[in-house]
């Protein structure tokens, strides 16, 4: 039989909002809203399931009650959206989510609302079924940095949509012939001026790690299959942009680490580390020579030391002026 039209559905929501006495079967509320007996019996379980997801109804025996006056206001508000044919959520075209505090516009953005709903679903059930699946290729780049005592450092790139740092790499596209091709494409897209040169550059596969986590880009609980490669190259240096950071191993594998106040998306990488015979520490260097840091990186990492050096040089220059006059 046909489903209730929007006016009838709005009337059912308003009838549920007006239900303040003893518990009443939802089918009866549907009849009060003007639905025929067969339509009321068919619609009641669907409406109850939908409103149950919002937590506004409480079942008592064969009947239902709205849980609080605030829930009644929500039902009336929702009825208004349904009756007038308006959208409660919008901006579904724009991927990416944010962390609190939120503006009203952000909360009612489709992906942001989905992210919050999925975050709660995952909190209620850590084994919640993923809504999507994705194949990902990521690349480990390991090197020594000048002035860092010979310690191993690993390349991370900032993902502006996810607001996190992660290894170079990304989702496999239908145009990629295989995972290795996806890794090469991502390196060439994310490292300015880098061109993968066979013979000079090699990608060694390290393993594949499955992980289920909440996507901060699309907002849905996602099952990822992440295949890791290590870049080994004879090039003297790797070109990196302003969103790149070299981090030591203890920072890379610490789930509480922050880089520039941003978290790291390295859950799968920590599991890979556990599976490698010598862990990440046992991997060879990606580059044959120590990587030089740019002036920008030095200024970012040691601002006070650089400021002190500049002040010292200026002071020396000022002290020499009287001798030259």
List, in order, residues 6 or more apart from 98 with CB less than 8 Å away. Answer: 106, 112, 163
pLDDT digits (tens, 9 = 90+) for 34-52: 999 999 999 999 999 999 9
2 falls in which pLDDT band (50, 70, 90)? very low
244 falls in which pLDDT band (50, 70, 90)? very high
pLDDT digits (tens, 9 = 90+) for 71-90: 999 999 999 999 999 999 99
As a dihedral over the C-alpha atoms of residue 38, residue 40, residue 45, residue 46, rounded to 10 degrees, the angle is: 100
Identify the architecture of domain 132-294 in CATH.
Alpha-Beta Complex (3.90)
Amino acid 299: pLDDT: 52
Give CA–CA dist 216/229, Å, rounded. Answer: 23
- What is the domain partition of the chain in residue ranges? 6-84, 89-127, 132-294
Give CA–CA dist 176/44, Å, rounded. Answer: 48
Amino acid 291: pLDDT: 86
C-beta of residue 205 within 8 angstroms of C-beta of residue 229: yes
C-alpha separations of 214 from 128, 222, 225, 296 in Å: 11, 6, 14, 33
Mean pLDDT score of the chain = 90
**Which fold, 6-84?**
Arc Repressor Mutant, subunit A (1.10.10)
Q: pLDDT: is 21 or 210 the higher one?
A: 210
Mean pLDDT confidence for 297-307: 53
pLDDT digits (tens, 9 = 90+) for 142-166: 999 988 888 999 999 999 988 899 9
* Residue 134 reports pLDDT greater than 90: yes
Give CA–CA dist 288/310, Å, rounded. Answer: 33
pTM: 0.80
């Amino acid at each position: 039989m046909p489903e209730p039209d929007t006016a009838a559905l709005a009337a059912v929501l308003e009838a549920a909002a007006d239900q303040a006495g003893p518990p009443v079967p939802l089918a009866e509320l549907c009849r009060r809203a003007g639905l025929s007996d067969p339509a009321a019996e068919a619609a009641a379980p669907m409406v109850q399931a939908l409103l149950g997801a919002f937590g506004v109804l409480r079942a008592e025996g064969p009947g239902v009650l709205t849980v609080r006056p605030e829930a009644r206001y929500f039902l009336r508000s929702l009825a208004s959206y349904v009756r007038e044919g308006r959208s409660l959520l919008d901006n579904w075209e724009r991927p990416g989510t944010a962390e609190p505090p939120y503006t009203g516009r952000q909360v009612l953005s489709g992906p942001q609302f989905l992210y919050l709903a999925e975050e709660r679903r995952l909190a209620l059930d850590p084994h919640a079924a993923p809504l999507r699946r994705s194949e990902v290729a990521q690349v480990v780049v390991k090197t020594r940095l000048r002035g860092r005592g010979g310690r191993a450092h690993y390349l991370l790139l900032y993902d502006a949509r996810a607001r996190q740092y992660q290894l170079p790499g990304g989702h496999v596209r239908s145009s990629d012939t295989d995972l290795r091709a996806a890794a090469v494409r991502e390196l060439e897209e994310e490292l300015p001026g880098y061109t993968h040169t066979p013979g000079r550059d090699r990608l060694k596969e390290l393993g594949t790690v499955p992980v289920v986590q909440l996507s901060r880009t699309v907002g849905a609980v996602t099952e990822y299959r992440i295949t890791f490669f290590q870049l080994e190259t004879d090039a003297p240096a790797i070109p990196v942009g302003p969103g790149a950071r070299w981090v030591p191993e203890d920072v890379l594998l610490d789930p509480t680490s922050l880089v520039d106040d941003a978290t790291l998306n390295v859950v799968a990488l920590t599991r890979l580390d556990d599976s490698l015979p010598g862990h990440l520490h046992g991997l060879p260097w990606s580059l044959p020579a120590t990587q030089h840091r740019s002036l920008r990186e030095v200024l970012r990492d040691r601002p006070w030391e650089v400021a002190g050096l500049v002040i010292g040089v200026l002071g020396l220059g000022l002290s020499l002026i009287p001798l030259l006059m």
